[in-house]
Amino acid sequence: MLHPNRPVIQIEKPFWAKLFSLISLILLVVATAYLAISWGNLSDVIPIHFNAAGEADGFGGKWSAIMLPVIGFVMWGSLTALERVPHTYNYLGKITEENAEKQYLNGVLMMNVIKNLCVLLFAYITYELTLIGTGGSANLSAGVMPVFLTLLFSSMGWFIYRSIKL
């Protein structure tokens, strides 16, 4: 164990966190199904990298499209497992019997939000890549990354702020 002096307690996630995880997983499954259904119509060469303007600037074979949902599912599964062991996280302050439950819940919720935002991004990019690869679109939307990064870093900032206040 990384932190042998910390209390080990089970944290019950609130309903909204469970729902957020379910929604992100369903959307990843839907994006993967869309890729599978569209597989026959997918170009042999598809964009695999986009610049800041959303324009394709790297290309690969259509089999490279499979990596996005694979990474998304691995990320969802491994971070879901990590949510179950908040006593192993790094915290800004000392974890005691008195503050453990609140700090652990805050840590689990931060992990949940980060996981689900990242999985939603992978689902969206899988969908868009499939759409582009089948000729339905020309570019990835340029506003996606700024919105994603804003959501990611602002939520991390919020949970770090909460951790300090707890």
**pLDDT tens digits for 85-100?**
998 888 888 888 888 8
Residue with tokens 């439950």: 101
**pLDDT tens digits for 142-160?**
777 788 889 999 999 999 8
Q: DSSP string spanning 75-119?
A: HHHHHHHHHT-GGGS--SS---TTTHHHHHHHHHHHHHHHHHHHH
First-last CA distance in the chain: 24
Q: Tell me the C-alpha distance between 46 and 61, whole Å.
A: 6
Q: What is the pLDDT of residue 139?
A: 63
Q: Are 9 and 104 in contact (CB under 8 A)?
A: yes
One-letter amino acid of 47: P
Residue 68: half-sphere exposure toward Cβ, Cα within 13 Å: 29
Six-digit token string for 3? 């932190």
The pLDDT mean for the chain works out to 87
Q: What is the pLDDT of residue 163?
A: 87
Lowest-pLDDT range of 39-43, 52-56, 156-160: 52-56
Q: What is the pLDDT of residue 65?
A: 86
**pLDDT tens digits for 1-40?**
566 677 888 888 999 999 999 999 999 999 999 999 999 8
**Pairing mode, strands 45-50 and 56-61:** antiparallel
Q: What is the pLDDT of residue 145?
A: 79
**pLDDT tens digits for 117-140?**
999 999 988 888 888 888 777 666
Q: What is the pLDDT of residue 26?
A: 95
